[in-house]
Every structure is written in C-alpha cells, then in structure tokens.
C-alpha cells in the first residue's frame, strides 16, 4: 500500500467517526504526490495559497466534482475573487473588508460558498483572526447583512501545553452561536481537538510527510 494511504487510514482509525471530516492538507506538494489519495476516493483537500491551488486543482476539480477544496491560509483581498471561484470552503474569514468583498463576488458570480470565521483564540499579536470580543458582532454582520453562509469557527491555538483550554473555548463559542461545524486540529494536536467536538481536522504532514 502507498504510504500516504497508509497514513490516511491510520488517522481515520484514530478519528473513528464518519461525521468528522479529514481535510488532507496538500499545500506545497505536487500533484504526483497527492494523486494516490485522490485515486483512493478521498474528497476533502486543503491548500493555503490561491495561485498554487488554482494551478494544482482546477483541472482535477473539473474532472472530479465531488472534491471539496478548503482554503486554510490567509486570503488577501486581491485574491478573493479567484478564491471563491475555486474553493468550496474558506476557513480564513478574518476581516470585514474581506467578508464584504466575498459577498460582492458571490453575487456577481452567482456562487454560494461555506465559511469559517477565523478566531484569534489566543489573542496573539502575530496571528490573524477576529478578536474574541468581536466574534459575535462579526458573525451576525456576515450572516444577516452580508448573507454569507457561516458554518463554524476556526482557530490555530497558541503553541504550548494549554491547547485543550483553547479548543474548549472555541467549542463553547461555536455552541453559543449555534454553529454546527468546527475547524480545529492539525497533525500535532488533532487528537486533543477530537475531545472538543471538532468536525473538520486539517492534517498535512501526518498524511503527506514533512514539507521541505
């Protein structure tokens, strides 16, 4: 068996829940490298750069419409239009300006996408995301005024040993907003995220190997 399929099956066994989606994060890997998992029938893949993702996935998505592509990296305003043409899910909704632009392009392109609001759960200066105190207001604005389909919250917790505290906080926030999906957990910490009702884990290196 291909080592990627092997890795994927191991993660699936740990997750052990069909309602939890495993996003195979294929950023920085070439098509040849990820092809075994596509051929295996997996349908959720994640990328962090719009241009790289377009080059890699546009043809594949045309051939296999079942594939769901997730943007997990920062989205610059000038890439917003290209991004919503390609991605089914955007996990990095992190500003009013971006949200307004996406709403505008959804209208002009007649598209509806699914969004996660990225929360700066550890209030870190260097990290993107909506500040915790502003999540409520931001969510209602996106949903009511802009009519974006917000499915849940997303966060990357601060490095360190208190990860479960942040996962719990995000879970509680998500519940208080009545949202059904939750994007948290990466290769190093998805086991922890599973304890806090995550529904989308974003796994790169544990499936595809280390990125150079």
119 DSSP β-pair partners: 130
Token pair listed for 146: 């802009």
Question: To which H or E segment does residue 106 belong?
Answer: helix 96-109
- Least distance (Å) from ligand PLP to the CB of residue 14? 13
Binding mask 46-75 for ligand PLP (x = CB under 6 A): --x-----------------------xx--
Q: Is 25 in the site for ligand PLP (CB under 6 A)?
A: yes
Backbone angles phi, psi at 67, to 5 degrees: -70, 135
Helix/strand/coil (H, E, C) string of 47-85?
ECCHHHHHHHHHHHHHHCCCCEEEECCCCCHHHHHHHHH
Of the pair 104, 211, the CB lying nearest ligand PLP is at 211
What is the distance between the alpha carbons of residues 118 and 90, in angstroms, rounded to a whole number? 10
Query: Which residues, 85 to 144, sit near ligand PLP by CB under 6 A?
Result: none
Q: Could you tell me the CA-to-CA distances from 75 to 10, 12, 63, 101, 164 in Å, in that order? A: 31, 29, 26, 11, 27
**DSSP annotation string for 123-174:** --TT--SB-GGGHHHHHHIIIIIS--EEEEEE--PPSSTTHHHHHHHHHHHH
- Least distance (Å) from ligand PLP to the CB of residue 205? 4
Q: By Cβ distance, which residue is nearest to ligand PLP?
A: 204
Among 122, 152, 157, 204, binds ligand PLP (CB under 6 A): 204
Among 156, 170, 179, 182, binds ligand PLP (CB under 6 A): 156
Among 186, 193, 194, 199, binds ligand PLP (CB under 6 A): 186
Of the pair 38, 146, the CB lying nearest ligand PLP is at 38
- Least distance (Å) from ligand PLP to the CB of residue 4? 13
Of the pair 37, 186, the CB lying nearest ligand PLP is at 186
Residues near ligand PLP (CB under 6 A) are 25, 27, 48, 72-73, 156, 186-188, 202-206
């Amino acid at each position: 068996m291909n080592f990627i399929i092997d890795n994927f099956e191991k993660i699936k066994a740990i997750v052990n829940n069909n309602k939890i989606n495993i996003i195979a994060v294929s950023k920085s890997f070439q098509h040849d490298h990820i092809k075994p998992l596509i051929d295996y029938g997996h349908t959720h893949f994640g990328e962090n750069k719009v241009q790289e993702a377009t080059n890699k996935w546009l043809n594949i998505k045309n051939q296999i419409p079942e594939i769901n592509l997730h943007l997990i990296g920062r989205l610059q305003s000038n890439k917003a239009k290209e991004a919503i043409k390609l991605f089914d899910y955007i996990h990095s909704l992190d500003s009013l300006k971006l949200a307004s632009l996406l709403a505008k392009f959804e209208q002009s392109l007649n598209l509806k996408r699914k969004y996660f609001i990225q929360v700066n759960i550890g209030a870190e200066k260097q990290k993107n995301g909506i500040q915790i105190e502003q999540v409520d207001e931001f969510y209602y604005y996106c949903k009511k005024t802009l009519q974006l389909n917000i499915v849940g919250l997303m966060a990357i917790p601060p490095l360190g040993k208190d990860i479960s505290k942040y996962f719990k906080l995000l879970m509680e926030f998500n519940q208080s907003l009545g949202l059904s999906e939750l994007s948290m957990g990466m290769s190093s910490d998805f086991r922890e995220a599973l304890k806090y009702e995550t529904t989308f884990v974003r796994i790169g290196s544990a499936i595809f190997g280390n990125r150079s």
